[in-house]
Amino acid sequence: MGAVAAEPLIEPYVVEDERRGLFRVNRRVFVDAAVLERERALIFDKCWLYVGHESEVARPGDFLTRTVGGRELIFVRGKDARVRAFFNTCPHRGAMVCREKSGNGTMFRCFYHAWAFDLQGKLVARPGTERYAEGSNADGVHDLVEAPKLDAYRGLYFVNYDRRAVDLVTYLAGATEFLDLVMDQSEVAMEIVGGAQEYGFAANWKLLCENSIDGYHGMPTHATYFDYVMASGGQLGENLTIVNRPNDLGNGHAVIEYGAPWGRPVAKPVKAWGEKGDADTAEIRARLEQRFGKARAERIAYQNRNMLIFPNLVINDIMAVTVRTFFPVAPGQQTVTAWALAPKEENAVMRERRLYNYLEFLGPGGFATPDDCEALALCQRGYNNLAMASWNDISKGMKEQNPTIEDEAQMRVFWREWHRRMSGAAS
């Protein structure tokens, strides 16, 4: 890792020309295996990476297995109610100890030689254990290896493979304000609903970072979605204090805040929900107002938020709330996992509206996400021309004092941090 960090960058990857108002990214960053190798060392091995939500391991013994930053993890709540992350590899010969996607149990047993570990990762049984020298596991070399750092912010668990990394809250910086606007939608706690959507597509992972907070592509890419919303009684609504602004949240995190014609389960009704929808959302807003006052309640209820937490966590609080993370498997290929997040106490009708909303825009069968993936795959294919057409442009709104979400200030936040880390700057 140190050797990789010490190598100089050979060519400029991100070029910012304030005088001309130009911000450009070298297309090599999307196709070069050496860039990906450097990203693994300087970004994925250094940054806080999202693993899962507390509700997915709600009870002692609940576990799930995930691939996070190219590493195989077991994410488990122990008998002591603490959540831990272990590398899913047997200390004996290396086989993956847990083969299930999720479950509840009291121990993990590697089937190869039947070494068994408790939920705290301690070796508790193995055939022929008397043949091992006394004290050979005194320092835990025969226990599961725990991830260097695991921490949570309001139910979101992150792992960090760098022992020297700054603490999670410091890392999240200004993003906590916007995470609070999402998590405050519940008086109890938010929860992941109904599993995950796992998919993938042929485009570099950074293109999805950009796309997830891109307010410029909405109308041209998603015209059919807006056709559908309007055909289904969508409306911008009245009495809304609409803001339209990007925010630099520090450390490469960015968010756009804006109003939109779709309904929000917390809590903006649309005609399609009828009078019952008006009443349900009014009640939710009234509770929010009691807890937070009118201004914050309206901000939570009416404003949409698309947030990128550097490098690869997206929380989009739009017609539903989606949590999405994605990892490169090759320069031109990524895997995506997406979840729906909702207040635990949400009633059945509102929950149904939420999931209905989610599917109409989001995910592999939505009216929008497949067109995003298509756009990004076409970008990737276009980079076959990079030797003679070498630059991406991210200049929109460079000279604006008050950029809007249709500008590209929020993507520049991502790229500056990407460039800073890839240049070998300390984390």
Q: Give the whole-angstrom CA distance, residue 307 versus residue 309.
A: 6
Residue type at 177 in one-letter notation? E
- Least separation in angstroms between residue 367's CB and other proteins is 6
- Per rule CB under 8 A, is residue 148 in the interface with other proteins? no
Residue with tokens 């939500």: 53
CA trace torsion 113, 119, 121, 123 (10° rounding) = -50
- Per rule CB under 8 A, is residue 100 in the interface with other proteins? no
x/- site string to other proteins, residues 45 to 84, per CB under 8 A?
A: ----------------------------------------
Binding-site member from 358, 361, 414, 418 for other proteins (CB under 8 A): 358
What is the 8-class DSSP label of residue 146?
Answer: B
Residue with tokens 């991100």: 14
- Least separation in angstroms between residue 102's CB and other proteins is 12
x/- site string to other proteins, residues 318 to 357, per CB under 8 A?
A: -----------------x---xx-------x--xx--xx-
Q: Give the whole-angstrom CA distance, residue 206 versus residue 188.
A: 34
x/- site string to other proteins, residues 362 to 391, per CB under 8 A?
A: -xxx-x-xxx-xxx-----x----------
CB 330 within 8 A of CB 338: no
Nearer to other proteins, 11 or 198 (CB): 198
In 137-225, beta strands by DSSP E:
149-153, 156-160, 190-201
Binding-site member from 67, 129, 232, 347 for other proteins (CB under 8 A): 232
- Least separation in angstroms between residue 393's CB and other proteins is 21
- Least separation in angstroms between residue 297's CB and other proteins is 28
* Residue 316 CB neighbours (<10 A): 24
What is the 8-class DSSP label of residue 159?
Answer: E
- Least separation in angstroms between residue 46's CB and other proteins is 26
- Least separation in angstroms between residue 409's CB and other proteins is 26
Binding-site member from 94, 105, 195, 382 for other proteins (CB under 8 A): 195
CA trace torsion 267, 284, 232, 315 (10° rounding) = 40
Nearer to other proteins, 306 or 337 (CB): 337
Q: Give the whole-angstrom CA distance, residue 186 versus residue 144.
A: 36
CA trace torsion 355, 263, 360, 215 (10° rounding) = -120
Binding-site member from 197, 211, 304, 325 for other proteins (CB under 8 A): 197
Count residues binding other proteins (CB under 8 A).
39
| CA distances from residue 46 to 40, 43, 316 in whole angstroms, order as listed | 9, 5, 24
Q: Which stretch binds other proteins (CB under 8 A): 136-144, 179-187, 194-202, 304-312?
A: 194-202
Binding to other proteins (CB under 8 A) within 253-282 occurs at: none
Phi and psi torsions of 416, nearest 5°: -65, -40
- Per rule CB under 8 A, is residue 292 in the interface with other proteins? no
- Least separation in angstroms between residue 204's CB and other proteins is 14
* 3-class SS letters over 76-144: EECCCCCEEEEECCCCCCCCCCCCCCEEECCEEECCCCCCEEECCCCEEECCCHHHCCCCCCCCCCCCC
- Least separation in angstroms between residue 352's CB and other proteins is 6
Binding to other proteins (CB under 8 A) within 211-230 occurs at: 221, 223-224, 227-228
* Residue 21 CB neighbours (<10 A): 13
Binding-site member from 70, 194, 274, 382 for other proteins (CB under 8 A): 194
Nearer to other proteins, 322 or 410 (CB): 322
Residues making contact with other proteins (CB under 8 A) = 193-202, 221, 223-224, 227-228, 231-232, 335, 339-340, 348, 351-352, 355-356, 358-360, 363-365, 367, 369-371, 373-375, 381
